[in-house]
């Protein structure tokens, strides 16, 4: 189908919101699931927010001047979140969805975003296949947990509302677990007063932007997540997403009366670190796949480092070459150097290291190293990188 794509505008909200509601409802009812959105208005409300939010980029597809679908990229943090993507049921399965996906992967590549992630409804064969063909890898099975707030406390794990002063500590926990922070989303949640932190042994060891479908949480262990879940007074949206491979937490939730609403899949392309702690992902926005559109990061044991705040290429090079791991080993193999402006694509080769765990030392002040991508050789296990 010959669709034209353009950036989304706030005035598209009514039509896109209605399509969003109808598209999800159609596929859900085919599988005897309740609709994802309780009403058309709820769809319009969500899309109004997304189309007006400066942190989200929306793309709209039109056929003969009529809007037939939309898709969104959450650009607030290091790793972008994709979705919701919806296509009018009357024109589904004719290529519009693929175009909407490709447009946002192009956008992510243009903006040098290191990775894109999404959450997919496991029963939806079409979206699963489409995303896989576009380079997304399956990362985690998820359960959408539903039920009444638990009202549980975990001794030694105190939960309180988060404030901006907590941002750095929270980002540290997230970076430890995911290898990158989710600062933009967290700051948004702090501003909206939905974010909470959990303190243990006198320090912040976890946080939640809220407990809900569009919110994420991280903790050094399951006790942190139990405390955050136990303190939540409501679950925003249709429930919260729980990685079911976290058997202990999954059982704990089930034993506390929560039920599984549906099974979903976390998929990602680009930079992905196997999480090193407990976490709850959010619907559209936590997360290497061979994505041709993210070629900048399609490297084998190669690491790209962006030297933020250095306009000068020589300065960048000397800064990056000065980076070393705590053990004194150099980065594996530095292939690309990016600057914000003008785009620089310099090459700098550093000695290869066999290090399984490479940590880029945290540069001070404005000189902040940002690991932008790593992908394992196909027959090698993935490696973790952290700032
Ligand atoms: C998911 C959705 C956006 C896809 O859009 P679409 O326009 O229907 O999809 P397209 O026609 O562009 O692409 C579908 C692809 O899946 C393939 N496909 C469909 N069913 C398949 C199956 N059972 N097995 C393997 N491949 C399948 C098609 O062949 C096509 O691949 P191609 O692009 O390589 O030819 C759309 O169906 C939709 O709005 N669904 C309801 C809302 C939803 O579920 N959104 C996604 C939330 S995770």
**Distance from Cα 128 to the centre of ligand 1, integer Å:** 8
Pairwise pLDDT comparison (383 vs 199), residue with the higher score: 199
Report whether CATH 2.60.120 matches the domain 146-280.
Answer: no
Say if residue 200's pLDDT is above 60. Answer: yes
Q: Where are the domains of the chain?
A: 4-113, 146-280, 299-386
Tell me the best of 61, 81, 97, 105 to mutate to test the pocket of ligand 1, counting ligand atoms within 8 Å of each CB and taking the most: 97
Cα 112 from Cα 338, distance rounded (Å) = 8
Closest CA to 212 of 188, 191, 228, 190: 228
Q: How confident is the model at residue 238 (pLDDT cuts 50, 70, 90)?
A: confident
**Distance from Cα 240 to the centre of ligand 1, integer Å:** 25
Question: Ligand 1 in contact with 124 (CB < 6 A)?
Answer: yes
Show the CA angle centred on residue 246, arms to residues 245 and 247, nearest 5°: 90
**Distance from Cα 358 to the centre of ligand 1, integer Å:** 38
Say if residue 204's pLDDT is above 80. Answer: yes
- Indicate the CATH number for domain 4-113: 3.40.630.30
Say if residue 19's pLDDT is above 80. Answer: yes
Q: How confident is the model at residue 264 (pLDDT cuts 50, 70, 90)?
A: very high
Least confident of 65-69, 81-85, 283-287, 367-371: 367-371
Question: What per-residue confidence (pLDDT) applies to 113?
Answer: 83
Cα 303 from Cα 152, distance rounded (Å) = 43
Q: How confident is the model at residue 371 (pLDDT cuts 50, 70, 90)?
A: very low
* Nearest atom of ligand 1 to the alpha carbon of 118: 48
Q: How confident is the model at residue 247 (pLDDT cuts 50, 70, 90)?
A: very high
Closest CA to 101 of 119, 84, 125, 89: 84
Per-residue tokens: 245: 């491979």
pLDDT mean over 4-17: 97
The set of residues, in sequence order, having a beta carbon less than 8 Å from that of 251 and lying 6+ positions away, is none
Q: How confident is the model at residue 139 (pLDDT cuts 50, 70, 90)?
A: very high
User: Whose C-alpha lies nearest to ligand 1, atom 23?
Assistant: 125
Question: Ligand 1 in contact with 130 (CB < 6 A)?
Answer: yes
Cα 371 from Cα 350, distance rounded (Å) = 15
State pTM to two decimals: 0.76
**Distance from Cα 96 to the centre of ligand 1, integer Å:** 9
pLDDT above 90 covers what percent of the chain?
Answer: 57
* Nearest atom of ligand 1 to the alpha carbon of 125: 23
Say if residue 379's pLDDT is above 70. Answer: no
Per-residue tokens: 161: 């509302």
Q: Do the beta carbons of residue 383 and residue 179 sit within 8 Å?
A: no
Question: What per-residue confidence (pLDDT) applies to 314?
Answer: 56
The set of residues, in sequence order, having a beta carbon less than 8 Å from that of 77 and lying 6+ positions away, is 180, 181, 182, 183, 184, 185, 285
The backbone torsions φ and ψ at residue 202, rounded to the nearest 5 degrees and listed phi first, read 75, 15
pLDDT digits (tens, 9 = 90+) for 84-109: 999 999 999 999 999 999 999 999 98
Question: What per-residue confidence (pLDDT) applies to 304?
Answer: 36
The set of residues, in sequence order, having a beta carbon less than 8 Å from that of 79 and lying 6+ positions away, is 113, 114, 115, 116, 117, 178, 180, 182, 268, 270, 271, 285, 286, 287
Q: How confident is the model at residue 278 (pLDDT cuts 50, 70, 90)?
A: very high
Cα 127 from Cα 36, distance rounded (Å) = 15
Say if residue 134's pLDDT is above 80. Answer: yes
Question: Ligand 1 in contact with 25 (CB < 6 A)?
Answer: no
Which DSSP state fits 146? E
Closest CA to 105 of 237, 292, 242, 290: 292
**Distance from Cα 126 to the centre of ligand 1, integer Å:** 4
Question: What per-residue confidence (pLDDT) applies to 310?
Answer: 42
Residue-level length of the chain: 387
Question: What per-residue confidence (pLDDT) applies to 137?
Answer: 94
**Distance from Cα 136 to the centre of ligand 1, integer Å:** 14
Say if residue 50's pLDDT is above 60. Answer: yes
In this chain, the answer to whether the domains covering 4-113 and 146-280 adopt an identical fold is yes
């Amino acid at each position: 189908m010959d669709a034209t794509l353009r950036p989304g505008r706030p005035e598209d909200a009514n039509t896109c919101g209605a399509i969003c509601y109808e598209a999800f409802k159609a596929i859900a009812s085919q599988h005897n699931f309740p609709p994802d959105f309780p009403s058309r208005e709820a769809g319009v409300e969500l899309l109004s927010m997304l189309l007006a939010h400066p942190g989200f980029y929306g793309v709209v597809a039109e056929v003969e001047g009529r809007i037939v679908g939309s898709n969104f990229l959450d650009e607030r943090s290091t790793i972008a979140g994709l979705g919701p993507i919806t296509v009018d049921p009357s024109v589904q399965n004719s290529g519009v969805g693929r175009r909407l996906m490709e447009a946002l992967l192009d956008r992510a590549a243009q903006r040098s975003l290191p990775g894109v992630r999404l959450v997919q409804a496991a029963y939806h064969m079409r979206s699963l296949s489409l995303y896989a063909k576009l380079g997304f890898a399956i990362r985690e099975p998820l359960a959408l947990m539903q039920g009444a707030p638990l009202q549980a406390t975990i001794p030694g794990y105190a939960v309180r509302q988060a404030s901006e002063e907590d941002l750095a500590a929270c980002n540290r926990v997230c970076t430890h677990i995911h290898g990158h922070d989710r600062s933009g989303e967290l700051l948004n949640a702090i501003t909206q007063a939905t974010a909470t932190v959990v303190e243990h042994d006198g320090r912040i060891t976890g946080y939640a932007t809220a407990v809900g479908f569009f919110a994420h949480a991280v903790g050094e262990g399951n006790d942190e997540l139990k405390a955050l879940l136990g303190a939540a007074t409501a679950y925003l949206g249709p429930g919260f997403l729980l990685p079911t491979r976290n058997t202990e937490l999954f059982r704990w939730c089930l034993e506390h009366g929560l039920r599984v609403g549906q099974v979903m899949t976390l998929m990602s392309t680009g930079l992905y670190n196997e999480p090193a702690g407990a976490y709850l992902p959010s619907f559209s926005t936590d997360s290497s796949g061979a994505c041709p559109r993210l070629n900048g990061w399609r490297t084998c044991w190669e690491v790209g480092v962006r030297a933020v705040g250095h306009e000068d290429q020589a300065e960048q090079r000397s800064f990056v070459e000065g980076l070393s791991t705590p053990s004194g080993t150099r980065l594996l193999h530095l292939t690309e150097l990016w600057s914000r402006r003008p785009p620089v694509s310099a090459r700098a080769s550093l000695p290869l290291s066999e290090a399984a765990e490479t940590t880029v030392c945290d540069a001070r002040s404005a000189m902040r190293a940002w690991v932008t991508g790593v992908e394992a050789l196909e027959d090698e296990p993935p490696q973790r990188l952290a700032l």
